[in-house]
Amino acid sequence: MKKEIIQFGIMRSGSTLVYNILVDLFPEYSIIKTHKYPGKLKTIFKLPVVCTYRDPLAIICSSIKSYKQKPSFEVINQHIKRLDNNGFNDFIKLENSYKNKINLQYEKFFYDMDYIFDELQKFFQIKIKQDKRIELKNKFSIAKVKEKIRDMKSFEEYDSKTKYHGLHISDTDGAVDSYLQFFDEKDLNYLRINFKEFRNKFLYK
């Protein structure tokens, strides 16, 4: 039976990129991708957990776009509920109760995949050589992912091996802070109040 690594991600936080990097780097392991808190057996064994997180305002924006919707009070609340049930609440639970884990921040690795490699090196006590880094950056670039999902027409279409969905990449290529142009000021204020505690803790302005 293979050893396991859990890749836990808040939805729309770059977890699929990190999952595919882990699959490539650790072929001798089974990589479990999830948006849910690890089950009792996995916490007993204290399996390593690699977490991804992102500014909730950007996540809500990305989630709405993935369903080809426009922001409204009703739609925003629908996606807040979706976020709560797909990693947000369980990420907070993990923060409070699980030690054998690492947190990777989307806003840092969006511009610099070396951040992921450096953090994985420290956590797993491995060495990721420069040529391997170059290979992975090319293999999982936004352009390459776009090629793979080009014929997928909706978010429901899914590749079970890579975990890529249709509309996986937004019209802004997942750019940091693009939500500022997507929401109006009223919606932004509502979301900032809703996620104030989380954003303060993780240093989002």
**What are 171-194's pLDDT values in tens digits?**
676 788 999 999 999 999 999 999
Query: Residue 191: which of 204, 176, 174 has the closest Cα?
Result: 204
pLDDT confidence bin for 169, thresholds 50/70/90 = low
Q: What does the alpha-carbon distance between residue 16 and residue 7 come to, in Å, rounded to a whole number? A: 9
113-163 tens-digit pLDDT: 999 999 999 999 999 999 999 999 999 987 776 676 666 665 566 666 776
Q: What are phi and psi of 195, to 5 degrees?
A: -115, 25
Q: What is the radius of gyration, based on Cα positions, of the chain?
A: 17
Element (H, E) at 51: strand 49-53
Does residue 140 contact residue 22 with C-beta atoms inside 8 Å? no
**CB neighbour list of residue 204: distance below 8 Å, 6 or more residues apart:** 55, 57, 198
State yes or no: pLDDT of 30 exceeds 90.
Answer: yes
How many Cβ atoms are within 10 Å of 49's Cβ, its own excluded?
A: 23
Global pTM? 0.91
Q: Look at the alpha carbons of 191, 192, 193, 194 in this order and tell me if their dihedral is positive or negative.
A: positive
